[in-house]
């Protein structure tokens, strides 16, 4: 069995395997390796010692069962691959993504428990499950964006085998699986990579910590660390794609951006395995470069998030104007604009950013824009983690669902949204470093210091904060929740029917003053009445047959604050 580690500045590296100290040989570009025979058993503990220093866990550890400061463990991945069966995911043009946090999706917080819920997701009709980050992070629970072992799944969710089984089970239910990966920073606790090599640079700063060295001396190996990580999840665990966290915090000034290199490598793996992988970037840049083809100067990613849709929708329905909602003050006009174009900000001045923002989405196709009405950030970054279902009545929730699911873009749902869950999704951490835990709690209080109820802000470190965020599945059988679930399910079915007519143009008509909006594509028309009473609303040429109504009303009427969906007769 070959052990290797990149440590370009070390003069001597030893593998510590049990009580053995095995000298390693320096290879090209500072990669040290040694062949150990006979191979140590699965689960054997190991570390690396540089220049006689203290033994450190492996930055590329595949298994950290004893936490981020514990031993790395030998884990081979052959049997993970063996679980995979051929699977062809739906293309993004037909996709509905479901964002899922393993720790809170079920009371058990495990892959196995989530797996038991897959028939439910299949019934709902979503096509892609997107798991929040799995890279090992400190503590017993957390959102996952503080990962420090990018190659080792967080052990509290289950074993690597259970993760591979979960992916295979998704495929068995016709569901593709995406994984959220964080390549813009490492978490603050348990990150030993910097001791091994120049993973970080001081040329750039990110909001969360040291920026990765993607373009300085020795950056080839850092880039390889990222690219190989992406390929591992796809190849070994069977994931169908990745969601890249906050790529606007990935700085790279080289002639080949790391995102381009990553996308190219994933495409090459897809050709090799004859699978269609997708790479979706979270970005707040409103920049078509992310998804344009490489030949057109782009990075060639499959799609990117665009928050303008969310913000316009949220600001219109809630009337909130704090923070970034300050940029979305035109109500229905903003919503109509974003439905038509994908980006609202195409170079206009943004009050929130105090600068011009974005550019026109030239060359960006609707299925390259992922939108949502809720996600882990939009819910969890609120002081009290309130979902829209805790802020708005049912008719509005139904309108919001229809606007999202019948938009021309790729809709993403956040776990529990589909039944209007009443559990919050709070910001929770379990930092083992006491001082860090104190800082995180303090930081959270400070962030919301402007609110009058600052004393009550849930403490991220309190285990109760985590527990409150777990879904209560009993809810979804209650009548109003079941009604909303059915509404989501029917909308997804209508979206699927529409997707067979993808070449039809998407159109919007809207009267801001009168307070209504109609949008249609191919044979599906959705009409929204934002007034206090039921009324007739102009329709495009039909004939149309009512398929779905948020409340019962006389024929040709749309309910107060209601939504009607029609299909062409």
The DSSP bridge partners found for residue 527 are 518, 564
CB of 473 to a copy of itself, least distance (A): 42
Which residue's CB is nearer to a copy of itself, number 78 or number 202?
Answer: 202
| Minimum distance of a copy of itself from residue 207's CB (angstroms) | 9
Note whether 435 binds a copy of itself by CB under 8 A.
no
| C-beta of residue 364 within 8 angstroms of C-beta of residue 285 | no
Q: How far apart are CA 286 and CA 250, in angstroms?
A: 15
Cβ neighbours, 10 Å, residue 196: 23
- Backbone phi and psi for residue 34, each to the nearest 5 degrees, phi listed first: -155, 145
Contact status, residue 113 vs residue 107, Cβ threshold 8 Å: yes
Over the window 378 to 397, marking each residue x when it contacts a copy of itself by CB under 8 A and - when it does not, the resulting string is --------------------
Among 37, 41, 82, 255, binds a copy of itself (CB under 8 A): 255
* 269-308: contacts with a copy of itself (CB under 8 A): 285-289, 292, 295-298
State the nearest-atom distance from the C-beta of 192 to a copy of itself, in Å: 22
Do 2 and 191 form a contact (C-beta atoms < 8 A)?
no
Q: Which of 165, 85, 167, 84 is nearest to 128 (CA)?
A: 167
- Residues 187-246 touching a copy of itself, rule: CB under 8 A, are 202-205, 215-220
* Contacts of residue 507, Cβ cutoff 8 Å, sequence gap at least 6: 519, 520, 521, 540
CA nearest to 102, candidates 142, 137, 54, 61: 142
Among residues 19 and 354, whose Cβ is nearest to a copy of itself?
354
Among 18, 52, 119, 254, binds a copy of itself (CB under 8 A): 254
Each residue of 125-136: b (16+ CB within 10 Å) or e?
bbbbbbbbbbbb
370 with 409: CB under 8 angstroms? yes
Q: Which of 296, 286, 310, 295 is nearest to 368 (CA)?
A: 286
Residues in the chain, how many? Answer: 569
Active site annotation includes 245: yes
Taking the complex as a whole, the smallest distance from the CB of residue 36 to a copy of itself amounts, in Å, to 30
CB of 220 to a copy of itself, least distance (A): 5
Closest by CA to 266, choosing from 290, 239, 289, is 239
Dihedral sign, Cα of residue 246, residue 252, residue 255, residue 258:
negative
Q: Which of 99, 240, 245, 334 is catalytic?
A: 245
Site string for a copy of itself, 332-371 (x = CB under 8 A): ---------------x-x---xxxxxxx--x---------
Q: How far is the CB of 203 from a copy of itself (least distance, A)?
A: 5
Catalytic residue among 282, 307, 327, 475: 282
Measured from the CB atom, the residue of 152 and 364 that comes closer to a copy of itself is: 364
Alpha carbon distances (Å) from 143 to 53, 57, 156, 460, 556: 33, 23, 13, 11, 46
Smallest distance from the beta carbon of 49 to a copy of itself, in angstroms? Answer: 25
Contacts of 174 (CB under 8 A, 6+ apart): 122, 127
Q: 247 vs 400, which CB is nearer to a copy of itself? A: 247
Decide whether 357 or 431 has the Cβ nearer to a copy of itself.
357
Q: Which is nearer to a copy of itself, 86 or 217 (CB)?
A: 217
Query: Is residue 377 annotated as a catalytic residue, yes or no?
Result: no
Give the interface with a copy of itself as residue ranges (CB under 8 A).
Answer: 202-205, 215-220, 248, 251, 253-256, 285-289, 292, 295-298, 347, 349, 353-359, 362
Query: What residues are labeled active site?
Result: 245, 282
């Amino acid at each position: 069995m070959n052990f290797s580690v990149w440590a370009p500045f070390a003069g001597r590296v030893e593998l510590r395997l049990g009580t053995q100290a095995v000298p390693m040989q320096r290879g090209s570009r500072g990669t040290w390796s040694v062949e150990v025979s006979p191979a140590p058993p699965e689960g054997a503990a190991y570390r690396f010692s540089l220049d006689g220093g203290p033994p450190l866990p492996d930055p590329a550890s595949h298994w950290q069962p004893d936490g981020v400061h514990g031993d790395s463990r030998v884990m081979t991945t052959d049997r993970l691959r063996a679980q995979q069966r051929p699977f062809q995911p739906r293309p993004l043009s037909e996709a509905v993504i479901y964002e899922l946090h393993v720790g809170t999706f079920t009371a058990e917080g495990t892959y196995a428990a989530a797996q038991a819920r897959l028939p439910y997701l299949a019934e709902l009709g979503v096509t892609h499950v997107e798991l929040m980050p799995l890279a090992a992070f400190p503590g017993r629970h957390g959102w996952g964006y503080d990962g420090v072992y990018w190659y080792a799944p967080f052990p509290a969710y289950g074993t690597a085998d259970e993760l591979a089984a979960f992916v295979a089970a998704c495929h068995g239910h016709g569901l593709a699986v995406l994984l959220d990966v964080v390549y813009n920073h490492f978490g603050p606790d348990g990150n030993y990579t910097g001791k091994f090599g120049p993973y970080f640079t001081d040329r750039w700063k990110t909001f969360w910590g040291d920026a990765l060295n993607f373009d300085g001396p020795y950056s080839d190996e850092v880039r390889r660390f990222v690219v190989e990580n992406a390929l591992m999840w796809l190849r070994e665990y069977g994931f169908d794609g990745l969601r890249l966290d906050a790529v606007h915090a990935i700085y790279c000034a080289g002639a080949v951006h790391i995102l381009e290199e990553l996308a190219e490598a994933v495409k090459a793996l897809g050709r090799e395995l004859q699978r269609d992988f997708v790479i979706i970037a979270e970005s707040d840049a409103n920049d078509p470069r992310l998804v344009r083809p490489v030949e057109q100067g782009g990075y060639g990613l499959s799609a990117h998030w665009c928050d303008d849709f969310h913000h316009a929708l949220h600001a219109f329905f809630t009337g909130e104007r704090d923070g970034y909602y300050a940029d979305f003050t035109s109500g229905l006009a903003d919503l109509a604009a974003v439905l038509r174009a994908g980006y609202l900000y195409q170079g206009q001045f943004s009050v929130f950013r105090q600068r011009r923002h974005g550019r026109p989405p030239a060359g960006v196709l609707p299925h390259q824009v992922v939108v949502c009405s809720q996600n882990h950030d939009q819910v969890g970054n609120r002081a009290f983690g309130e979902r829209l279902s805790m802020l708005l009545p049912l008719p509005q929730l139904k309108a919001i669902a229809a606007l999202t699911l019948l938009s021309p873009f790729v809709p993403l749902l956040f776990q529990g949204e589909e039944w209007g869950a009443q559990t919050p999704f709070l910001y929770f951490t379990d930092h083992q470093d006491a001082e860090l835990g104190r800082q995180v709690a303090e930081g959270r209080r400070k962030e919301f210091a402007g609110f009058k109820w600052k004393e009550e802000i849930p403490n991220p470190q309190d285990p109760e904060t985590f527990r409150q965020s777990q879904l209560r599945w009993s809810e979804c059988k209650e009548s109003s929740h079941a009604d909303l679930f059915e509404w989501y399910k029917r909308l997804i079915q209508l979206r699927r029917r529409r997707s067979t007519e993808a070449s039809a143009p998407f159109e919007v008509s809207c009267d801001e003053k009168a307070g209504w909006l109609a949008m249609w594509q191919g044979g599906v028309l959705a009409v929204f009445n934002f007034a206090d009473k039921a009324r007739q609303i102009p329709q495009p040429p039909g004939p149309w047959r009512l398929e779905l109504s948020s409340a019962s009303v006389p024929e040709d009427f749309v309910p107060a604050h209601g939504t009607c969906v029609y299909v062409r007769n």
